[in-house]
């Protein structure tokens, strides 16, 4: 079981604590129960405060933690919720929390922040030289305080090394589902989203998929290629088409793409098509032939074999397990 701890403090946004606690605590549980399968709890979640005493959130809700910072033992994940009050005052008043975070540097622990919680990570020196995101309304303040951070305000979720940041105040949805997928699998994240009636299209069709992490690099040209492939993968593309669209050789495309993302453009294109097929199977009543054609494949049999190889399920089995109750014809 994954040990996760949320660090609580006065004037935090309560939903970024309680909502995330609910989502992680029920991952592998609620969806399984709804489908009459044995629950498999994934996360052991605790809330901690500096002294172990209750703290009061921005909306005056008082939360009683399980433990103090000093009682945290062997966490796999440490989560920092949204700052709901004045940011600079919160930073000043929470030296113990910042010191605790500083002590996690270079440890094999996933450290995550939601929204303006990224200020606490940055204050602890955990974001220097790394990609991060925060609420769009505080971008200028963040950049002025932490110029060494590679801030990406347009990103809903960033993941750089062992640091994970989510952007908006309610992005704990996305943060939680991303972690469910990271520590379990895509199907469990889908089940959690359906249980909580969360819109999985909040960011794009790639939300909560392993493809998100493939965009966390600094090669602008490859990012352009990825964006183009995401927009055109349903067409019957070849890698030569991709290379020609960007006026580069096939050899350069393969070398540069793999250097930036860790995988070949052919594997990435295949993954895009599979994720798109999953979405169609989950959300539409399209026939398998229609799904196959809409994601850029011609042969239904070959696509079905590939789909089962990658997911462990046939397309029909996948649809039966994860199909939305509001699936429509597309």
Structure confidence at residue 213 (pLDDT): 54
> In the chain, pLDDT over 70 holds for what percent of residues?
91
Does residue 204 surpass a pLDDT of 60?
Answer: no
Higher pLDDT residue, 102 or 217?
A: 102
Please state, rounded to an integer, the average pLDDT across all residues of the chain: 87
Burial zone of 275 (CB within 10 Å; 0-12 exposed, 13-18 middle, 19+ buried): buried
Task: Give the tens place of pLDDT for each residue, 97-118.
Answer: 999 999 999 899 999 999 999 9
Does residue 38 surpass a pLDDT of 70?
Answer: yes
Fold of the domain built from segment(s) 2-205: Rossmann fold (3.40.50)
Band (pLDDT 50/70/90 cuts) for residue 209 is very low
Place of tokens 């921005």: 58
What is the C-alpha separation between 36 and 325, in angstroms, rounded?
Answer: 17
8 A C-beta contact, residue 17 and residue 34: no
Band (pLDDT 50/70/90 cuts) for residue 212 is low
Band (pLDDT 50/70/90 cuts) for residue 199 is low
Structure confidence at residue 313 (pLDDT): 85
What is the C-alpha separation between 139 and 160, in angstroms, rounded?
Answer: 19
Structure confidence at residue 262 (pLDDT): 79
Band (pLDDT 50/70/90 cuts) for residue 136 is confident
Structure confidence at residue 11 (pLDDT): 95
Higher pLDDT residue, 311 or 295?
A: 295
Task: Give the tens place of pLDDT for each residue, 262-288.
Answer: 789 999 999 899 988 988 998 889 999
Structure confidence at residue 57 (pLDDT): 96
Sign of CA dihedral 82, 86, 91, 97: negative
Structure confidence at residue 203 (pLDDT): 44
Structure confidence at residue 29 (pLDDT): 87
- Predicted TM-score (pTM) of the model is 0.64
Structure confidence at residue 87 (pLDDT): 95
Higher pLDDT residue, 37 or 287?
A: 287
Task: Give the tens place of pLDDT for each residue, 77-100.
Answer: 999 999 999 999 999 999 999 999
Higher pLDDT residue, 205 or 299?
A: 299
- Specify the CATH architecture of the domain 220-322: Orthogonal Bundle (1.10)
Domain regions of the chain by residue span: 2-205, 220-322
Band (pLDDT 50/70/90 cuts) for residue 327 is very low
Structure confidence at residue 84 (pLDDT): 94
Secondary structure string (H, E, C) spanning the chain:
CEEEEEECCCCECCHHHHHHHHHHHHCCCHHHHHCCCCCCCCEEEEEEECCCCCEECCCCCEECCCEEHHHCCCCCEEEECCECCCHHHHHHHCHHHHHHHHCCCCCCCEEEEEHHHHHHHHHCCCCCCCEECCCHHHHHHHHHHCCCCEECCCCCEEEECCEEEECCCCCHHHHHHHHHHHHCCHHHHHHHHHHCCCCCCCCCCCCCCHHHHHHCCCCHHHHHHHHHHHHHCCCCCCHHHHHHHCCCCHHHHHHHHHHHHCCCHHHHHHHHHHHHHHHHHHHECCCHHHHHHHCCCCCHHHHHHHHHHHHCCCHHHHHHHHCCCCCECC
Does residue 329 surpass a pLDDT of 60?
Answer: no
What is the C-alpha separation between 165 and 168, in angstroms, rounded?
Answer: 10
First and final CA of the chain: distance in angstroms? 39
Does residue 215 surpass a pLDDT of 70?
Answer: no
The Cα diameter of the chain in Å comes to 62
């Amino acid at each position: 079981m994954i040990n996760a701890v949320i660090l609580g403090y006065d004037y935090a946004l309560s939903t970024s604590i309680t909502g995330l606690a609910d989502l992680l605590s029920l991952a592998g549980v609620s969806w399984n129960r709804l489908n009459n399968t044995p629950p498999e709890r994934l996360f052991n979640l605790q809330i901690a405060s500096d002294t172990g005493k209750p703290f009061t959130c921005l909306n005056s809700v008082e939360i009683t933690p399980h433990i103090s910072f000093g009682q945290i033992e062997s966490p796999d994940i440490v989560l920092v919720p949204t700052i709901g009050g004045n940011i600079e005052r919160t930073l000043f008043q929470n030296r113990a929390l910042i010191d605790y975070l500083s002590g996690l540097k270079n440890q094999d622990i996933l450290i995550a922040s939601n929204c303006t919680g990224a200020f606490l990570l940055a204050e602890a020196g955990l974001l220097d030289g790394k990609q991060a995101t925060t609420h769009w309304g505080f971008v200028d303040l963040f950049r002025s305080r932490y110029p060494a951070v590679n801030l990406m305000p347009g990103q809903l979720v960033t993941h750089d090394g062992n640091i994970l940041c989510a952007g908006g105040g309610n992005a704990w949805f996305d943060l939680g589902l991303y972690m469910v997928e990271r520590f379990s699998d895509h199907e469990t994240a889908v089940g959690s989203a359906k249980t909580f009636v969360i819109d999985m299209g909040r960011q794009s069709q790639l939300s909560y998929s392993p493809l998100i992490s493939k965009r966390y690099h600094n090669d602008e040209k490859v990012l352009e290629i990825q964006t183009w492939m995401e927009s055109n993968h349903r067409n019957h593309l070849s890698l030569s088409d991709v290379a020609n669209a960007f006026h580069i050789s096939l050899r350069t495309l393969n070398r540069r793409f793999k250097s930036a993302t860790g995988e070949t453009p052919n594997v990435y294109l295949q993954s895009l098509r599979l994720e798109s097929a999953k979405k169609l199977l989950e959300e539409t009543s399209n026939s398998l032939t229609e799904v196959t054609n809409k994601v850029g494949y011609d042969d239904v049999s070959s696509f079905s074999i590939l789909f089962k190889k990658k997911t462990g399920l046939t397309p029909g089995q996948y649809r039966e397990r994860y199909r939305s109750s509001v699936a429509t014809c597309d």
